[in-house]
Structure 1
Amino acid sequence: MNAERNAPQWLIILAFMAVYIVWGTTYLAVIYGLRGFPPFMLSGLRYLLAAILLLGWCGIRRVAWPGWSVVKVCVVSGILMLVGGSGIVAWSEQYITSGQAAIMIATEPFVFLLADRKRWREYFGNVFIITGLLVGFAGIILFFGGGEAAAQQDADNVMQWVGYGAILVGTVFWVAGALHAEGKLDKRTPNILSSAIQLLAAAIASGLLSGMTGEWSRFRIEQVPAAAWAGLLYLVFFGSLIAYMAFTWLITVRPPALVSTHTYVNPVVAVLMGWAFVNEQLSWMQLLGMFVILVGVLLTNFPNYKLSFNRQRA
């Protein structure tokens, strides 16, 4: 409570802007990065540079290195979330727009509900959560139903559907990694250090995957345009550092349920950015599906929001 009272209001506003806007724009940054880097190489370089910076900061601050058990949890969760989750998103954006990718990621809270079995009795005994799941499922059907109308004229329609499916699989990986970290990570481990280990593990795994898929043999650094370098640097500094650190700080000074409202804002930002900068288009049915999905997410999380706000007022 003291931290909440002492946190400067202007700093809280800036942190919310970073979480809301920056995370929404990273989907567009991936599109630019893919103009010069293959997807898993882009992800690997992004994670490696961010890990080096965070580890350097931990070294300067003389943060104690954790035990092997903590490292193992960070390695597993980092690979699941950042390679199986974010890495697959980068791969999928070769075939679908950044806005479509962001909308599909908005279904992630539903995967959390289905995967977190130990809380099923709590989840499925609540009318808001059940209603939210049904509404969100209807939104997904609307979104998929409008996919063909929104497809780019030169896009392979089959690969577009593969991209949709890959992102859904990626959300499962992300949720699995998050739940693994939640259940086994020592809470005393500093967030910056655990994130650095996760990023480093993901960088190594992405590099190996990039080599196995032949990306390194096809890559020509002299052919990378300035826009791709800009996309990579944006992902490193704004996506993997600024937005993440803003998020981890915000949840210490504001209710986590309030901070999690970025789930609703990020897809809207991604759609608008894609439309403004790279002329990405969505059909009216997909836009309607986006709205319905976000309403469903809001309903499923409403009990948590109410509980968090009541605790804050108390």
Structure 2
Amino acid sequence: MAGNYPIGPLIMQTFSTAAVPRWRFVGALAIVYVVWGTTYYALGVAMRTLPPVLMNGVRFLVAGAVMLMWAQWRGQAWPTRREWWGCALIGTLMAFAAMALVVLAQRLGIGSGLMATVVTTMPMWLALWTRLGGERVPATSWAGLVLGAAGAALLALEGDFGATPLGALCAFAAPLCWSLGSYASRRVALPAPAMAAGAQWLIGGAVGLAVAWSVEPGARTVDVSAVSAASWWAWGYLVVMGTLVTLNCYLWLLQHTSVALAGSYSFVNPLVALAVGVGLGGERLTGWVFVAMPLILAGLALIAYGPALLAWGRRGWLPVRGRLQPAGASGSSAP
């Protein structure tokens, strides 16, 4: 989980990019596609010898501190008191609650690839909060909600969910919390993006650390010498690549290309996560995920890109003599 999913018409035009080399776009997209798809497996490795909530809290605490220093070095203003409160709300919902539920679901037996697939149901919740908040939701989004809900229902038949009901509950609650945080980010005052991200991570990490210290078994008595090298490497990967590098690539893409292209990671990440989970983690799938995923991804496409797709369809096809023909075609044979 890494950013907000737009509801309604998307900004399809590209920003001025004449001076930006193409390889930078390709590199940034590749990082967002691959790295965010591998973080679920990395979470599983890190949790082998680290308490999950503590591990996650320290991850965001460290990343948030680094991001705040970087934002200040870039000249971004510190958050005002009102903006700190907004960052606290979002950070608690997203960096703490949503991510803590993800790691707990995986600790309780939900596979990393399956967890990544569940996370793609987040736009369904976001569309619902948008409508309840009084905003108009396009008909294509409601169609996407129906498809996504059907996919989620089928996904619940996957073997891991039946074996670990509590893990399934955590898995489906995670995108719900993430969607609440995403919706709140549109309603509260926030500083510049990098400063906002740093403040949210710092606060979410601090909340996670406090909760882990208070209630998580083993959090107070972690033997650092007993933590495996693999867990340390995975945790470092999550901090550096999964949080700092990839989030900044995503922010850069938002500034230099279309929202649609930047947000296309949400279609690729589950496929990467499933491939990594099966290939490296030895995870086994019973088959329902392959029925559910196309429905969820189709729903996601309608929610995120529905109006733009309809507009493209209207421009691209015109009724000619009772049948559909591509716009611009003459209707007569070439000489």
- Structure 1 length-normalised TM: 0.88
CA distance in 2, matches of 1:248, 1:119: 26
Once superposed, which parts of structure 1, at least 4 consecutive aligned residues long, lie more than 4 Å away? 118-121, 307-310
* Aligned positions, number: 298
Q: Deviations over 1:183-237 (max 9, x none)?
A: 1124xx2211111111110111001110122332342211100110011001001
Partner of 1:192: 194
Q: 1:131 matched to which residue of 2?
A: 143
| Residue 229 (structure 1) aligned to one of 213, 216, 232 | 232
Name the counterpart of 1:57.
70
CA deviation after TM superposition for structure 1 residue 164, in Å:
1.8
Conserved in 2, the CA contact under 8 Å of 1:26 and 1:239?
yes
TM-score of the superposed pair, with normalisation by structure 2: 0.83
- State how far apart, in whole Å, the 1-side matches of 2:299 and 2:59 are: 32
Whether 1:272 and 2:266 are equivalent positions in the alignment is: no
Specify the alignment match of 2:56 in structure 1.
Answer: 43
Match of 1:249 among 230, 252, 255: 252
| 1:15-164 mapped onto 2 (5 Å cutoff) | 15-94=28-107, 95-117=109-131, 122-123=136-137, 125-126=138-139, 128-145=140-157, 147-148=158-159, 158=163, 160-164=164-168
**Matched residue SS, 1:4:** coil
Aligned equivalents of 1:14, 1:90: Cα separation in 2: 28
What secondary structure does 1:227 align onto? Answer: helix
Report which of the two structures shows the higher radius of gyration computed on alpha carbons: 2
How far, CA to CA, are the matches of 1:267 and 1:141 in structure 2?
Answer: 17
Indicate the RMSD between aligned Cα atoms, in angstroms.
2.2
1:112 deviation in Å? Answer: 0.7
Give the match's secondary structure for 1:217: coil
Once the 2 structures are TM-superposed, how far is the Cα of residue 62 of structure 1 from its aligned partner?
4.2
2: distance between equivalents of 1:89 and 1:121? Answer: 29
Equivalent in 219, 223, 242 of residue 220 of structure 1: 223
CA distance in 2, matches of 1:135, 1:250: 29
Q: What is the CA distance between 1:2 and its match in structure 2?
A: 5.4
Offset at 1:257?
2.2
* Greater share of residues in helix: 1
Aligned partner of residue 3 in structure 1, secondary structure: coil
The 3 A distance-change label for structure 1 pair 98 and 217 is same
The equivalent of 2:169 in structure 1 is: 165
Q: Distance in 1 between matches of 2:72 and 2:132?
A: 38
Alpha-carbon deviations, 1:1-25, whole Å to 9, x = none? 6533333211111111111111110
Q: Give the CA deviation at 1:55.
A: 2.3
Taking the aligned partners of 2:60 and 2:312, their CA distance within structure 1 comes to 35
> Is the CA contact 1:85–1:174 (under 8 Å) kept in the aligned structure 2?
yes
Gap runs ≥5 in structure 1 = 152-156
Counterpart of 1:290 in structure 2: which amino acid? M
Name stretches of at least 5 consecutive residues in structure 2 with no aligned partner.
1-13, 314-335
Kept after mapping to 2: 8 A contact 1:257/1:305: no
Identical-pair percentage = 26
CA distance in 2, matches of 1:179, 1:220: 39
Supply the distance in 2 between the matched residues of 1:32 and 1:309 (Cα, whole angstroms): 43
